[in-house]
Chain A
């Protein structure tokens, strides 16, 4: 059975054109005008883009299924236009060996989007001993991170980078120096001072960015910086790229949308790590995404149960949902051409995750049919209860945003039609 996406503006890394796209047997079979198929998906007024790729999603399985499962998280991804997500390894048990990787991939195989997993750099993400990266790489893991923790010790990070380079995989760093960040629950600054909440200074992130740029230059191994949140970090990454150091970076949607002032409500839904920063840092994230210093938008989708997010601010876990709102926030907040937003969400993260040719386009005959169709103009109001996620920790409640995903196609299967999930 073939499907035709009619009348949309097709955007990929090769450019834009109005065309119909026909999908059959998992692949794109034709791109052109006046095409037909067994099923018709209306895309008039919409953009037809490569399915999005999220470099940073916490799917919580195994271990915290009360907050999210690979299946529910994948449906949230589908509703957000993502055809692929990279799961973070801070599960219980952590994804730090082949056995857990296999479990996650097995669960992911039944999910509606393509689930890739990262692996931990160190055993149990404890920063003491290298995890068996080679056995995980053999199973297809391309991204290694201790996300939730930064690798504190420079010597260990150096060895990890050297080892990873030999395997052809990439290390991704959660940049945070523990000795500066310990005990902090929001950005250290005017607002933390006023609210009496212990803070995390921007320098806790920047020191590790600085160190890892030096290590990357030293070892020649690539390093990817996760969820950069400060002006200083982004400036260093920009300069390092210009100097030819093999670094890449992502920014999370909330870091270009929210600021530390949002914590004044003491609602732990605004607690996240790295923390929300002042408006100047938020603006720097926007600038970094605009000028290419930052490669990709990641969601850092981090589900938590209602109970966990109703604790006192300093006892609640950090993290917020993001998969279902990423596109709309990018279109609403970034003030970039639609094609650039599509790039930040699809082909640029796909390249970092090693998914080139599978996800992220281009939209041409014979390519795998991983596609998303969205209306860039539709405005809607975010409702935390209207979600596929198991959790409700959505900080954008009541916010009016622009841009909404209509259809998502993964591996040729139409899994979202007019915002309705099709299991």
Chain B
């Protein structure tokens, strides 16, 4: 695998392979010195056109724990503000010889475009409303860690699905592993042509609450109110918020997940986030091991290289 642009690049086998490797990297992360020399000499460049704390830090920690060098690049401090095109920036960074580019951009498809402009591997760290594959991978890993497997689980994805790259990647990842996914949102926050997605759709959270293994909440942004997609956030919370009352009706052991950052009190009540079945911190922790696995798969296990030298 040369690039990770979409969950589709992996398929079920690939997702399982990432999870298996992530197990090994979880152990590495627990060592007194949580660092291995696996990617010594490799350089990973971070190309973040959009603010991000957790994803960017997670990739950086992952790369460093594999002993890769990290090249940082952020919009505020770069020539992008002087009007440089993405292509020129990619060319410039590529000239410094990175082995992988981790790309985040507010526009869908930019990581796809970048692959045409560099010989480095490209990892999509979130593009517009399109995809955020490593988030979906760490979510699969978290579910697998808590519930044993993703297959057969009933997963409710709740909130602003239309504008969510996380939702697109998660739907693909969960369903390809054999989970049953139900999207729950007001119709204005569902994507167009949702009947072409491999999911069920419900407009009522109360109708599906008592019959699921995971509730996966998505961030509902204040702008949605201004765009007339929602009458008010208050009405949203009343109808679709995971309140304390609703959380109490979840089956025992059902997980509450969220990719963060959370609008506390809008999509999920603060008390629910503190319950032991809420996995937000685990998701962040697993993010490092999963991203180590992705970097390792892309940069260490190059199947095109012909073997040479003797082993043992």
A-side interface residues toward B, CB under 8 Å? 188-190, 192-199, 201, 265-267, 307, 310-315
Q: Is B52 interfacial (CB-CB < 8 Å)?
A: no
Q: Which of B181-218 contact A (CB under 8 A)?
A: 191-194, 196-197
- Report how far A310 CA is from B107 CA in the complex, Å: 13
- Report how far A267 CA is from B191 CA in the complex, Å: 22
A193-B196, A265-B112, A307-B85 in contact; A314/B107 too (CB < 8 A)?
yes
Q: Write out the residue numbers on chain B whose beta carbons fall within 8 Å of the beta carbon of A312.
A: 86, 105, 107-110, 113
Q: Is B168 interfacial (CB-CB < 8 Å)?
A: yes
B197 touches A196 (CB 8 A): no
The residue from B85, B107, B196 contacting A313, defined by CB atoms under 8 A apart: B107
Other A-B pairs, 11, CB within 8 Å; known A193-B192, A196-B129: A190-B196, A193-B193, A195-B109, A196-B128, A196-B131, A197-B109, A197-B128, A266-B108, A311-B86, A312-B86, A312-B105
- Minimum CB–CB distance from B198 to chain A (whole Å) comes to 11
- Report how far A312 CA is from B103 CA in the complex, Å: 13
The residue from B105, B107, B131, B192 contacting A192, defined by CB atoms under 8 A apart: B192
B113 touches A266 (CB 8 A): yes
The residue from B112, B130, B193 contacting A190, defined by CB atoms under 8 A apart: B193
A-B contacts, 13 of them at CB < 8 A, read A192-B193, A194-B168, A196-B108, A196-B165, A197-B108, A266-B110, A266-B112, A310-B87, A312-B86, A312-B107, A313-B107, A313-B108, A314-B108
Q: Is B139 interfacial (CB-CB < 8 Å)?
A: no
Q: Range of interface residues on chain B?
A: 20 to 34
A196 touches B127 (CB 8 A): yes
- Minimum CB–CB distance from A43 to chain B (whole Å) comes to 43
Q: Which of B218-255 contact A (CB under 8 A)?
A: none
- Report how far A129 CA is from B295 CA in the complex, Å: 58
- Report how far A199 CA is from B192 CA in the complex, Å: 8
B113 touches A310 (CB 8 A): yes
The residue from A195, A265, A310 contacting B108, defined by CB atoms under 8 A apart: A195
Name the residue on B nearest A316 (C-beta): B107
- Minimum CB–CB distance from B109 to chain A (whole Å) comes to 3
- Minimum CB–CB distance from B58 to chain A (whole Å) comes to 22
B109 touches A313 (CB 8 A): yes
- Report how far A402 CA is from B131 CA in the complex, Å: 39
Is the contact region of chain A dominated by helix, strand, or loop, or is it mixed? loop
- Minimum CB–CB distance from B266 to chain A (whole Å) comes to 23
Q: Write out the residue numbers on chain B whose beta carbons fall within 8 Å of the beta carbon of A190.
A: 192-193, 196
- Report how far A324 CA is from B85 CA in the complex, Å: 29
A188 touches B192 (CB 8 A): yes
Q: Write out the residue numbers on chain B whose beta carbons fall within 8 Å of the beta carbon of A314.
A: 107-108, 128
Q: Write out the residue numbers on chain A whose beta carbons fall within 8 Å of the beta carbon of B128.
A: 196-197, 314
Q: Write out the residue numbers on chain A whose beta carbons fall within 8 Å of the beta carbon of B110.
A: 266, 312
Q: Write out the residue numbers on chain A whose beta carbons fall within 8 Å of the beta carbon of B108.
A: 195-197, 266, 312-314
- Report how far A298 CA is from B44 CA in the complex, Å: 48
Name the residue on A nearest B130 (C-beta): A196
A315 touches B192 (CB 8 A): no
- Report how far A314 CA is from B86 CA in the complex, Å: 13
Q: Write out the residue numbers on chain B whose beta carbons fall within 8 Å of the beta carbon of A201.
A: 192
B105 touches A196 (CB 8 A): no
In the A-B complex, list the 5 residue pairs whose CB atoms are closest, starting with the nearest: A266-B109, A196-B130, A312-B107, A196-B129, A196-B108
Q: Which of B42-100 contact A (CB under 8 A)?
A: 85-87
Name the residue on A nearest B128 (C-beta): A196
Q: Write out the residue numbers on chain B whose beta carbons fall within 8 Å of the beta carbon of A265.
A: 112
Q: Write out the residue numbers on chain A whose beta carbons fall within 8 Å of the beta carbon of B113.
A: 266-267, 310, 312
Q: Write out the residue numbers on chain A whose beta carbons fall within 8 Å of the beta carbon of B192.
A: 188-190, 192-193, 199, 201
Q: Write out the residue numbers on chain A whose beta carbons fall within 8 Å of the beta carbon of B109.
A: 195, 197, 266, 312-313
Name the residue on B nearest A201 (C-beta): B192
Q: Write out the residue numbers on chain B whose beta carbons fall within 8 Å of the beta carbon of A266.
A: 108-110, 112-113
Q: Indicate with 1 or 0, residue by residue over B101-135, a CB within 8 angstroms of chain A CB atoms.
A: 00001011110110000000000000111110000
- Minimum CB–CB distance from B119 to chain A (whole Å) comes to 18
- Report how far A194 CA is from B6 CA in the complex, Å: 11
- Minimum CB–CB distance from A125 to chain B (whole Å) comes to 26
A195-B108, A197-B108, A266-B109 in contact; A310/B85 too (CB < 8 A)?
yes
- Minimum CB–CB distance from B200 to chain A (whole Å) comes to 16
- Report how far A345 CA is from B279 CA in the complex, Å: 63
- Report how far A314 CA is from B128 CA in the complex, Å: 10
- Minimum CB–CB distance from A66 to chain B (whole Å) comes to 15
- Minimum CB–CB distance from A107 to chain B (whole Å) comes to 30
Q: Write out the residue numbers on chain B whose beta carbons fall within 8 Å of the beta carbon of A198.
A: 129
A196 touches B168 (CB 8 A): yes
